[in-house]
Every structure is written in structure tokens, then in C-alpha cells.
A and B are shown apart, each in its own frame.
Chain A
């Protein structure tokens, strides 16, 4: 289980971008993280992935707390898919991008190849392996970005606005793919219909604080959403 206890994150110019957040994500669970622009969703995801250091609180997986010494192991268990796939795809082709993580974690070349082929097949994009990220459509880039995380075989996946830049058909395809992935998922999104389709639980973030947590009925509570700027 991924547990977040009293997590706060501050920027030099913005204290408590995330402010005392508590929640847990079980293996295989799909949770939506909703909130207005600037609510702290991306900051929270970056802290969970070990990119930002919390100013207070802690994050643990299966009872083991994250710290500077075990951050490398923690990153094997948590994969983050960025909002903009262009940030995630920096290698000359998709194969190399998907192989980047396993190689850094010390996988052999054979294992890396097997992981990449499996991930690309799982997402239905084996034909993109040797294609340059520069030549892909928005939907293809999104799937390629997901493949770069899947190859690390994480227990939990974090998605930052996964439907950004996607047309309705690509959104439907993505919803189907995400529903089929066995990992625990935390999906930060503005797309409430998408969240309702995939997730069983919702976290509402407002000015860095978790103001509501519960089932998907939160997504139908117009007054609550309105007050949260959604």
C-alpha cells in the first residue's frame, strides 16, 4: 500500500503548495485526484515520485518510508506519467525511451528487450518501436510515454492529466487501456467524465489541502465541485 502521511511541499516562492495531505492507495486501486488549476495536483505527484522533497510528512510503500537513501528503490515501485509527453520522450526513438528506465535499474539487455516488447504490445503500439517521438500524433505520444513507465514494472502509477492533448476517440482508448492495467493508479485530472469512467475513489484537492475524499458520487456533487473551482 502507498501511504501518504501529513505531506507538505513548499516552493521557495510558494509555501505549502501541498499542505498536510493524508491518504492511502491500495494495490490495483484506481483513484482520481481532482482540483482546480494550481490546487497542487502536479506538485503532489512529483513529491510522490521523489522528484520534490517534502517539507513535512512522509510517504511509504508497504510500510517502508521514502528517504534519500532508498529513493532509487522507491522509484522502481512508483512510475509517473507526465502531463506533456514531450517531457517524457527524450530519446531518439520509442524503443530507446522505453528501455531507458530498465537499463538505469540494471536490467540485462535481454530483459530490457523483453520488457519493452511486452509494454509496447500491451499498449498496442509495437509498430512505434523504431519511430521518432517527433513524428508521432498526440495519442501515440501519450501511449509511448505510458510505455516508458510500464517497462519499469511499477506497483503504482501516477498520471498527470492523462487526457490532455487527446481527442475523444483517443480518450476512450486510453480509458480502456488504463482500466486494464493492474497497478494501483492515482490519476490527476480535470476531466471528470474520464475520472468517473475509470476510478472508484476520488480525492479533491483545494489550495494544496485535501478537502474531500470518497466514492465517485463526489463527481456528481455540483455544489462541492463548484466551491473547489471545478
Chain B
């Protein structure tokens, strides 16, 4: 049970961080969302062998994490959750693209390896941009912005509910797991023959609990059509932040780091 409870706690750790009061936290959510989106689009737009060109983009997460006092290690651990997916996708490149790109101290590096490294680097940058956005902006503000830009309310509500009910589902699983362990033969998880009824019961219980939570939300003014999002002014400070991020992305998208390094090497 403590493990599942820790998982529930972990889900909400980023949201707790979002309650901070640093200069990044105080920025308008729209400025942070647009900047993150522009950053991600720029990073994704690079060629799959452009490892060097992506290097300057590491400043974005590094600077934002420093300014927002976000714990680096915790963010890095979360990035590892996304790692297996891109590793699995990129490993095929190493197998199929074997033509040599260059030799380094007698070791031949293939184009496939470079594209794998680019993919990992790109994933790192994109995941960090999203994590920093969530760690510095409360979820309600993000969904409020989505509503303001006319994202269909049903999608936003679905997102909010999924986010809230993940914790509810895990809590129910924790209670059931404890009850099972206390009467079960084995202390190591749930036996396969009981898994079907366990999962079935979990869904029914979670559904029941979710209905009660939703009732509690409705009693406190939560309703699909009557949502009152907090209004905040988009100030000059927000504008400057967004402009800086846009300029940074555009500049390093236009300037080829490879060409600069080659020019410096020739010089």
C-alpha cells in the first residue's frame, strides 16, 4: 500500500511545485504555454542527424529550471519514464542505417547511431519543456487557457477528470490490495487467477467513488457550462518572456551550429 500511495503522491508532486512563487511561476500561463509549444515545434523541426544543432536548446530547460527552482533530479527521473519508448523507436535506426557517418579514434559511427542520439536528445528537450510547464503552472490554469482558446469543453473536462481520477483509481487499488494481502496466501502481489475479479471490482469501485467525487465538485460550483476561469492580464513581462523564447528558438533554428564549428575549425 505505501508504494501505491507514493505513486499517488508522485502524480501530484509536479502540481505541488506549481504552487511556487518564482518569476517563472508568476508568468501568464498563456506565455508559458505558447513558449513551450514554440520550443517543441522548433526542436522537432530539425533534421534527424542534427545533434549539434540541437545543443544550444539545452539552455531552455536549464535556465527555466534554475529560475523556477525546480529540482533537476526529480525532473530527470520523470524523463526516464519516456526513455524506453524513444529508445525502442530509435534502436531500429541503428539496425537498418549502418552506413558510416564518420570515424572517431578508429570507432566508426553510423548514421543510425547519430539519428538515435538525435531522437533521444529531442525527446529529452520536449519532455523537459512539458514538465517545466506543468511544474510552474497549476493544471487548472492550463485548462483555463485551453478553454479560452476555444478548445472544446468536453476535451478539457475529460483531461481534468482523467488527471484527477488517476489518483482516485490508485487509491482504490491501494485499499483493495491491502485487503487482499491481509487475507491472501502470497505477499507478493495478486495471484493471476484473482486478477480478473480484482480489476473488475476496482473498476466498479472507482466508478462509484468517481461519482461521489464529481458530486463533491459539482457542490462547489464545478460545471461544464458555467466554468469561471481566473482572469489574468497578459503583462509586458509576459510579452518579454515569450519574445525572448521565440527569438532564441528562431535564432538557433536559422544558425547552423555544424557550419559554425566547421568554419571555426578551418579558421
Using a CB–CB cutoff of 8 Å, the interface residues on chain A facing chain B are 46, 49-51, 72, 75-76, 79-80, 82, 84, 86-88, 90, 92-93, 95-96, 100-101, 103-106, 108-109, 130, 132, 134, 148-149, 152
Q: What is the size, in residues, of chain B's interface with A at 8 Å between Cβ atoms? A: 29
Would you list which residues of chain B between 94 and 140 have a CB under 8 Å from chain A? Answer: 138, 140
Can you name 26 A-B residue pairings with CB atoms under 8 Å?
A46-B215, A51-B215, A72-B226, A75-B218, A75-B220, A80-B216, A84-B212, A86-B171, A88-B216, A90-B167, A90-B213, A92-B12, A93-B16, A96-B138, A101-B220, A104-B220, A104-B222, A104-B223, A104-B228, A105-B221, A106-B228, A109-B230, A130-B19, A134-B5, A134-B8, A152-B220
B9 is an interface residue with CB less than 8 A from chain A: yes
With contacts A72-B226, A84-B212, A106-B228 taken as known, whether A152 is within 8 angstroms of B221 at the C-beta atoms is: yes
CB distance from A183 to the nearest CB of B (A): 15
On whether the beta carbons of A104 and B12 are closer than 8 Å, the reply is no
Contact B223 A72 (CB under 8 A): yes
Q: Which residues of B contact A50 (CB under 8 A)?
A: 218-219
B221 touches A104 (CB 8 A): yes
Residues from chain B with Cβ under 8 Å of A51 in the complex: 215, 218-219
Give B232's nearest chain A residue, CB to CB.
A109
**B34 close to A (CB within 8 Å):** no
Give the tally of cross-chain contacts (CB within 8 A): 77
In the assembled complex, the CB of A110 is this many whole angstroms from the nearest CB of chain B, namely 11
Interface centre among A50, A134, A149, by most chain B C-beta atoms within 10 angstroms, is A134
B74 to chain A, nearest CB (A): 15
What residues of B have a CB within 8 angstroms of the CB of A105 in the complex?
221, 228
Inter-chain contact B19/A96, CB cutoff 8 Å = yes
* Contact B219 A80, beta carbon cutoff 8 Å: yes
Q: What are the residues of chain A within 8 A of B212 when measuring CB–CB?
A: 82, 84, 87
Interface presence of B92 (CB below 8 A) = no
Considering the complex of A and B, which 9 residue pairs feature the smallest CB-CB distances, nearest first? A104-B221, A101-B220, A92-B12, A106-B228, A87-B212, A92-B15, A51-B215, A88-B216, A105-B221
| Assembly CA distance A109 to B229 (angstroms) | 11
CB atoms of B220 and A100 under 8 A apart: yes
**Complex Cα spacing A108 to B230, Å:** 7
Q: How far is the CA of A152 from the CA of B216 in the complex (A)?
A: 13
**Which residue in chain A gives the minimum CB-CB distance to B18?**
A92
Q: Is the CB of A132 within 8 A of B12?
A: yes
Contact A103 B219 (CB under 8 A): no
B217 interface hit (Cβ, 8 Å): yes
Closest to A52 in B: B215
**Which of A82, A87, A100 has the most B CB atoms < 10 Å from its CB?**
A87
Q: Do A95 and B19 form a contact, CB below 8 Å, given A72-B223, A132-B9, A152-B221? A: yes
Cβ B140 vs Cβ A103 within 8 A: yes
Asked if B168 is at the interface (CB within 8 A of a chain A CB), the reply is: yes
Task: Let me know if B164 is at the binding interface, CB within 8 A.
Answer: yes
Complex CA–CA separation, A134 to B226 (angstroms): 29
